[in-house]
Amino acid sequence: MKINTIKTKAFPDQKPGTSGLRKKVTHFQQQHYLENFVQAIFNVASNLKDGLLILGGDGRYYNSHAIQVILKMAAANGVKHIMVGENGLLSTPAVSHLIRKYQAIGGIILSASHNPGGPDGDFGIKFNIANGGPAPTSFTDAVYDISQNITEYKIAETKDINLEQQDTCYMGAMKITVINSVTDYAGLMEELFDFPKIKSLFTSGRLSMCFDAMHAVTGPYAKEIFSKRLCANVGAVINGIPLEDFAGGHPDPNLAHATELVSRLNASASAPDFGAASDGDGDRNMIIGQNFFVNPSDSLAVMAANAHLLPGYKQGVRGVARSLPTSRAVDKVAESMGIDCYETPTGWKYFGNLLDDNRITLCGEESFGSGSDHIREKDGIWAVLFWLNLIAIKQQSVENIMRSHWLRYGRHYYTRHDYEALDSAQADKLIKELRAQITSLIGNNYTGYKIVLCDDFSYIDPVDGSVAENQGLRILFDNDSRIVFRLSGTGTEGATLRVYIERYISDPAQHDLETQTALSGLIKIANSISNIKQRFNRDAPDVIT
């Protein structure tokens, strides 16, 4: 096998964001662009020469080509063994589990998560470390530094590997194992949840479900787990065939994009009892009941309050963590249970140290992600199974479970307003100006909402002492309401400004308000403080969740 050393020049824009490097497909298709970044990963993760690498992606356009390139570069860089998913498919949670189960050095995940796919869509690549979680900032900074000074990369000159069937082969001295994408992950789920109890709901006809895989990676996982192992109703899995362009859809499990699922759950006569969806790479989830949407922040709180009822969590919850923008619903549960609740920056990597140090059992983000100590990523199928198991135990509907929770802990009305594809310079200017004036807002009173705290959130990791600054501008009011402003790190074009708005109400008589109505006063305050609509000439947010 011939190893070629290819001369190259650095690209200035290869700094990883919250979840790796994400760009348009056409950007990745530039000569040497993908190869430069992959070589930088191999240079930093030099211990792969003696170990195992997990490789897979969500099946989006350019995945197949990228996998073949990475295999050839891995062989050229002396990687000992690679496990790759059949047809190149592996969900992000599955990669995390495989890294941990087989004690791999790390994993390369090819995905742009919930972003659109296809030739004109988005592509992404990230590295997960030996604990199964996203690489820390120290690793990604090192990758970026190398990418800015790279002059060459190594790649093997050899044929592509057949990924369409499970097999073992060699590329030079490197062993390649093409594995079933689903089996190991499904086995882990059976250890955590009471499959016989859930199965009895379906076989007895007491529950029907609809899971929307959104033509993304979770289709095979859903068919194996829900349809085959749990014997869910006929047609329980929709859009279950992974497609390179996600059938032209947007694989983001929310009310704005999972419209087919929402319409089915809102159909009065034929609606399933339970609905769920996952995203492009399988780490996000949406839970809904008949005409009833579960806010992801509320979902995390319900999980924390009820985890001890499930087989995999009988020993209880050690602690919980949520990202800064996530509502404080789980804080109320933690306070009641007498356990710690950590507030972290956005990005799953911040939960990794807390999980590894056994400080927390559950964690979650408002962006439709939740997880536990079973892996080091958020996990969409896991969340769906958690809710199914809880329904089987409580013998209650999604809505009744949620309303019982509000009755005990109060309700946190919550919304996120996304302003997408903004001019990056103007968006940065807005945040800079808000940061400059934010402390001066303390004490201001806006029609019954008095500001008691304003700051630019910073986080000191309680495990390793690392510091993350400028993570989001938060405004706290004297009635437990909040507004948070931050720029997203997952976009590929322009800037995305996210505004998070939260209002806590303990009175059960006010738990039936429409969310945007309940938050209308705070929405006006947010715009008054930031002047977003006038600055960017936007009549309304692009997405409301």
Chain segment 3-36, per-residue pLDDT in tens = 999 999 999 999 998 789 999 999 999 999 999 9
Superfamily of domain 411-544: Alpha-D-phosphohexomutase, C-terminal domain (3.30.310.50)
Which H/E stretch holds residue 83? strand 81-89
Q: What is the pLDDT of residue 338?
A: 97
Q: What is the pLDDT of residue 152?
A: 98
Whether 2-181 shares its CATH topology with 411-544 is answered no
Is 440's pLDDT higher than 70? yes
Cα 227 to its chain centre, rounded Å, is 24
Q: What is the mean pLDDT of residues 462-476?
A: 94
Q: What is the pLDDT of residue 489?
A: 60
**In angstroms, what CA-CA distances link 24 with 110, 116, 495?**
13, 10, 14
Q: Greatest CA separation found in the chain?
A: 73
Q: What is the mean pLDDT of residues 274-285?
A: 97
pLDDT band of residue 259 (cuts 50, 70, 90) is very high
Task: Indicate if 113 belongs to the active site.
Answer: yes
pLDDT band of residue 491 (cuts 50, 70, 90) is low
Q: What is the pLDDT of residue 268?
A: 80
Q: What is the mean pLDDT of residues 51-76?
A: 98
Class of domain 2-181 as given by CATH? alpha beta
Q: What is the mean pLDDT of residues 480-502?
A: 85
Q: From the candidates 19, 91, 111, 113, which is the catalytic residue?
A: 113
Which runs of E-coded beta strand occur in 100-158?
106-110, 122-128, 152-157
DSSP state, residue 159? P
Instruction: Tell me the pTM.
Output: 0.94
543-544 sheet: strands from edge to edge: 445-446, 449-456, 473-477, 482-487, 495-505, 411-422, 543-544
Annotated domain spans of the chain: 2-181, 185-409, 411-544
Chain segment 347-393, per-residue pLDDT in tens = 898 999 999 999 999 999 999 999 999 999 999 999 999 999 999 99
- Give me the architecture of the 185-409 domain, per CATH: 3-Layer(aba) Sandwich (3.40)
Which H/E stretch holds residue 237? strand 237-238
Tell me the β-bridge partners of 260: none
**In angstroms, what CA-CA distances link 161 with 42, 53, 78, 99, 178?**
20, 16, 17, 22, 9
**In angstroms, what CA-CA distances link 22 with 40, 51, 318, 326, 491?**
16, 27, 34, 23, 7
Q: What is the pLDDT of residue 493?
A: 66
Please give the radius of gyration of the chain, using alpha carbons only, rounded to the nearest integer. 23
Is 545's pLDDT higher than 90? no
Q: What is the mean pLDDT of residues 106-118?
A: 95
Cα 529 to its chain centre, rounded Å, is 30
* Sole residue written with tokens 């068919």: 223
pLDDT band of residue 50 (cuts 50, 70, 90) is confident
Q: What is the mean pLDDT of residues 403-425?
A: 94
Q: What is the mean pLDDT of residues 413-430?
A: 92
Is 95's pLDDT higher than 70? yes
**C-alpha to C-alpha distance for 529 and 436, rounded to whole angstroms:** 12
Is 448's pLDDT higher than 90? no
DSSP state, residue 232? P
Poorest-pLDDT segment among 212-226, 301-315, 317-331, 438-452: 438-452
Residue 199 or residue 537, greater confidence: 199
Q: What is the pLDDT of residue 490?
A: 56
Q: What is the pLDDT of residue 122?
A: 96
Q: What is the pLDDT of residue 195?
A: 98
Tell me the β-bridge partners of 363: 321, 371
Chain segment 198-254, per-residue pLDDT in tens = 999 999 999 999 999 999 999 999 999 999 999 999 999 999 999 999 999 999 999
Q: What is the pLDDT of residue 492?
A: 56
Q: What is the pLDDT of residue 362?
A: 98
Q: What is the pLDDT of residue 439?
A: 86
pLDDT band of residue 300 (cuts 50, 70, 90) is very high
Is 278's pLDDT higher than 60? yes
Among 144, 176, 183, 180, smallest CA distance to 161 is for 176
Q: What is the pLDDT of residue 72?
A: 98
Cα 250 to its chain centre, rounded Å, is 15
Poorest-pLDDT segment among 86-100, 228-242, 260-274, 388-402: 260-274
